[in-house]
Amino acid sequence: MFEHVKSKIDARVNQQLIKRQHHLKKLMLKHKNVYVLPSRLGLAFLCFAILVFLLGSNYQNNMIIMTSYLLLSLLLVSVIQGYLNLSNTEIEYIQCRPGDVQSGFELLLSFKNLRTAQQIKLAAQWLNPVDAFDCSHSAKTIKLQFTPSKRGIYALPRIKISSSYPFGLITIWSYLVYQDSTFVYPNQRTLLNYSHTHEQPDEGDHSNQAQGSDDFDGIRTYQKGDSFSRISWKHYAKQHELVSKQFNQLGNGHVIFDFALLPDDFETRLEYLAYLLQQAQHDELIYGLTLPQRHIGANHGPEHLAECLKALSEV
């Protein structure tokens, strides 16, 4: 119930922010999309200035009253200087890269200011901590790493840009609302001794035929006497375990990874498939994927791998 209400409120807030053009891929911070309020320290400072003023008025002491005016002037200067610090900052959307549950997805943003914007902070849902940074007339690329807890399709969360420069008495902030979505794939889980299904290519289909007469058929624990050319060095780099790649003699058959043939529970099967797809891509095989309600034909290349991994995210 709470999550449903929160999502409704977030959607309403996003609609209002879009009206103020916070959704632009290249956003320039100006007075219409920058907001200012005292920070907690600033509120305490303001209360102290008011108490000093009341004290001076009660004792009719002009020096104390002048001190309260000086404190209020410092707060006003903080507002003006804080706005000038963050205004005219240009934020440009560069790229969003999907990833697995462990690493999360990655968002690249470019920051630039004709002067120098100082102590910029970023905050968002699922965002790993980002150190405060400065930006100047030279574009600065910031890499944001988001780590949701589950696989799936995710709309990019609303990102808050803020600064408490110069004295920490006020907070100047704005928002980025990108109307894009990205994928979080299942983690990879190693699977040994898995027997694939195969399909033969259609006659005349030469573009997707594998080179050579051997087809990849899985991996198994390395045994003494196995050829070093068949060791999966990528697996060794990740798991520090020697395994050998197995091949069969099906001519130019296509490897098909079938969800129904895998052991264990639903999510674990998806993790096995994520691992097998990555291995097949690394070994430059032609492979396809069969899921409970979807079949992706055999193909190869980074775009085909991305399509298969997206299917794992959506199932």
Q: How many helices (H) and strands (E) does the chain have?
A: 6, 18
Is a pLDDT exceeding 90 seen at residue 273?
yes
Mean pLDDT of the residues in the chain? 86
Q: Which residues, 6+ apart, have CB-to-CB distance to 128 below 8 Å?
A: 104, 144, 145, 146, 147
| In the predicted structure, residue 9 carries a pLDDT above the cut 50 | yes
Above 60 in pLDDT, residue 15?
A: yes
Q: Is the peptide bond before 166 cis (omega within 30 degrees of 0)?
A: yes
Confidence of residue 229 (pLDDT cuts 50, 70, 90): low
In 3D space, the residue among 84, 106, 86, 104 whose CA is nearest the CA of residue 95 turns out to be 106
Instruction: Give the phi and the psi of residue 257 in degrees, each rounded to 5.
Output: -90, 120
The pLDDT, as a whole number, for residue 65 is: 94
Mean pLDDT of 180-189: 94
Tell me the two tokens of residue 13: 């807030």
Whole-angstrom Cα Rg for the chain:
29
* b/e 183-210 (16+ beta carbons within 10 angstroms → b): bbbbbbbebeebebebeebeeeeeebeb
pLDDT of residue 202: 53
Pairing mode, if any, of strands 254-258 and 287-291?
A: parallel
Question: What was the pLDDT predicted at 96?
Answer: 96
pLDDT band at 72 (very low <50, low <70, confident <90, very high): very high
Residue 213 has pLDDT above 90, yes or no: no
**Looking at 123-127, 161-165, 198-202, 209-213, which range is the least confident one?**
209-213
Model confidence pLDDT, tens digit, residues 145-178 = 999 999 999 999 999 999 999 999 999 999 999 9
User: Percent of the chain beyond pLDDT 70?
Assistant: 82
The DSSP letter of residue 102 is T
In which band, very low, low, confident or very high, does the pLDDT at 8 lie, cut at 50, 70 and 90? confident
Q: What is the DSSP string of 273-288?
A: HHHHHHHHHHTT--EE
Cα within 13 Å of Cα(131), Cβ side: 3
Q: What is the mean pLDDT of residues 90-106?
A: 95
Residue 250 or residue 122, greater confidence: 122
Direct distance between the N- and C-terminal alpha carbons of the chain, in angstroms, rounded to an integer: 25
What percentage of the chain carries pLDDT values higher than 90?
Answer: 64
Angle among Cα 40, 91, 157 to the nearest 5 degrees reads 65
Q: Between 95 and 230, whose confidence is greater?
A: 95
- Domains of the chain (ranges, CATH numbers): 2-185 (2.60.40.3770), 197-314 (no CATH)
Strand order in the sheet with 294-299: 197-199, 254-258, 287-291, 294-299
308 burial level (CB within 10 Å; 0-12, 13-18, 19+): buried
Per-residue pLDDT averaged across 81-86, rounded?
95
Residue 251 pLDDT: 42
Q: What pLDDT score does 211 carry?
A: 38
pLDDT band for 204, please (50, 70, 90 cuts). Answer: very low
Task: Specify whether the CB–CB gap between 178 and 156 falls below 8 A.
Answer: yes
CA dihedral 271, 272, 278, 281 (to 10 degrees): -140
pLDDT value of residue 247: 58
pLDDT at 20: 85
